[in-house]
Amino acid sequence: MKAELGIALIGAGRAGMIHARNFAARVPGARMVAVSDVVEQSARQAAEELGADGWTTDYRQVLENPAVDAVIVVTPTKYHHEIVVAAAQAKKHILCEKPMAMNAQECRQMQQAADANGVALQVGFMRRFDEGFRRAKEIVESGQIGEVVMVKSLTRGPSTPREWMYDIQKSNGPLAEVNSHDIDTLRWLTGSEVQSLYAMAGNYRCGEIRPSYPDFYDTVLMNLRMANGMLGSIDGAQGVQYGYDARVDILGTKGAIQVGGLQNTRTVAFTKEGGLHGDVVKSWMNLFEDAYLREDTSFVNCIQKGRPPEVTGLDGLRAVQIVQAGNESIKTGEIVRL
C-alpha cells in the first residue's frame, strides 16, 4: 500500500468539504488529488481550495484516475448506489456518507461490490467517533450503569430541507436525512437489532409545500423494541430554528448517562437584564468537527492496515431498513416488525 493515499471527493457540498479539508490538511497518509461535482463552479472552487490536481463534473473520470486510491461519496442519497458500485469495480476504497442508499437491496449490492473487488466500504456515521459518544459506549460496556434498559436519541436541525428532500420517494424523508445517526446510535449502544417499531410524524413548519408533497413530515417520533429486550426512542425535527440539537439519554438498571446538549459550551452568563444565558450550538458542522476528523483518520488507517472499517456496510444497511420500516409505520399507523 502507498505511504500516501490519493483521495477524491465526489460531491463538494458542506459535508463533502468537511471530509475533504480533513484529508487535505489534517489526516496523516492522505492527499486530495481530485474533485467531482455536477456543478462546475463548485468542483473548480473546491479543487483550488484543497490543492487538488484536478476537477471534473463527471465522477467517472475520477474513477479512471490511477492517482485516486479512495473516494468520498457525498452526493444526494439516490446516487450513492450507482457511484459506490462503480467505485468498487474501479478498485477504489469508499467512504460513503449516510444514508447509505435508498433501500436494502441497493445497500447489499454496494457491499457485495466492495467485497468482490477487495476494497473497504465505510459508512459515515461520525457519532461513533465523537468523544462523548465513545465514552458513553465505554461506560455501558463497563457495566457501571447496570443493564441498559432504554436509549433515547434525538436530532433536531435548525434549517428546512432542500427541495429534493421534500419528496419522500427521493430522500426517504427526515428519518433518513436527519435520524440515520440516531438509528445507528441506538443499535450501537444497545448492541442489538430492532425487533419492532411504531412511528408518528407530521408537517408543522413547512405548510407551504403540503399541496406538492403531502407525505412530507418535518417532525417524527419513533419508539422501538430491540431483540434483546431494550427499549428505544427517536425524536427528529427539521426547521426548529433555535439551534442544532443532538442528545442521547441512556437509562440503565443502576444509573444513567447523558450525552450532548444544546448548550455550545459550559460557560453560562447570569445578568439582571438577561437572566441565565448560554450560547446555543448553531450547526452539526461545529458540534462534530473532531468526530469527522477521527472518522476520516480511521478510514485511512483501515486501508493502510488492511482491517475492516469501524462502521461497515451492514451498519448502513440496518439503518436503511429501519428508516423504511419507520416510513411504513407512519403511512399505515401500524406497528412494523423487522
Q: Which domain holds residue 241?
A: 128-288+318-337
Q: Would you place residue 271 in the very low, low, confident or very high pLDDT band (cuts 50, 70, 90)?
A: very low
Compute CA 299 distance to the chain's CA centroid, rounded to the nearest angstrom: 15
User: Are 276 and 298 part of one and the same domain?
Assistant: no
User: Are 277 and 202 part of one and the same domain?
Assistant: yes
Average pLDDT over residues 98-107: 97
User: Are 17 and 147 part of one and the same domain?
Assistant: no
User: Are 187 and 154 part of one and the same domain?
Assistant: yes
Please count the structural domains in the chain.
2
The 8-class DSSP code of residue 197 comes to E
Q: Alpha-carbon distance 206 to 67, whole Å?
A: 45
Compute CA 318 distance to the chain's CA centroid, rounded to the nearest angstrom: 13
pLDDT of the residue at 79: 96
Amino acid at the residue 254: K
Q: Which residues contact 315 (CB under 8 A, 6 or more apart)?
A: 123, 125, 184, 187
pLDDT of the residue at 52: 97
3-state secondary structure of 153: strand
User: Are 270 and 300 part of one and the same domain?
Assistant: no
User: Are 89 and 181 part of one and the same domain?
Assistant: no
User: Are 24 and 155 part of one and the same domain?
Assistant: no
Percent of the chain with pLDDT over 90: 85
| CA dist list (Å): 223 to 36, 70, 151, 190 | 39, 38, 10, 14
Average pLDDT over residues 187-200: 98
Average pLDDT over residues 97-102: 97
Residue 267 has pLDDT above 80, yes or no: no
Summary mean pLDDT of the chain = 92
Q: Alpha-carbon distance 289 to 261, whole Å?
A: 15
Closest CA to 137 of 301, 262, 310: 310
Residue 269 has pLDDT above 60, yes or no: no
pLDDT of 119-176, one tens digit each?
Answer: 999 999 999 999 889 999 999 999 999 999 999 999 999 999 888 899 998 899 999 9
User: Are 73 and 211 part of one and the same domain?
Assistant: no
Question: Rg of the chain over CA atoms, in angstroms?
Answer: 20
Q: At residue 115, what are phi and psi to the nearest 5 degrees?
A: -65, -45
User: Are 172 and 43 part of one and the same domain?
Assistant: no
User: Are 241 and 294 part of one and the same domain?
Assistant: no
User: Are 117 and 134 part of one and the same domain?
Assistant: no
| CA dist list (Å): 34 to 56, 64, 71, 195 | 8, 11, 9, 43
Average pLDDT over residues 96-118: 98
- Residue carrying the nine cell digits 476537477: 55
pLDDT of 220-236, one tens digit each?
Answer: 999 999 999 999 999 99
pTM of the model: 0.92
Here the CATH number for the domain that contains residue 70 is 3.40.50.720
User: Are 10 and 45 part of one and the same domain?
Assistant: yes
3-state secondary structure of 158: coil
Here the CATH number for the domain that contains residue 260 is 3.30.360.10
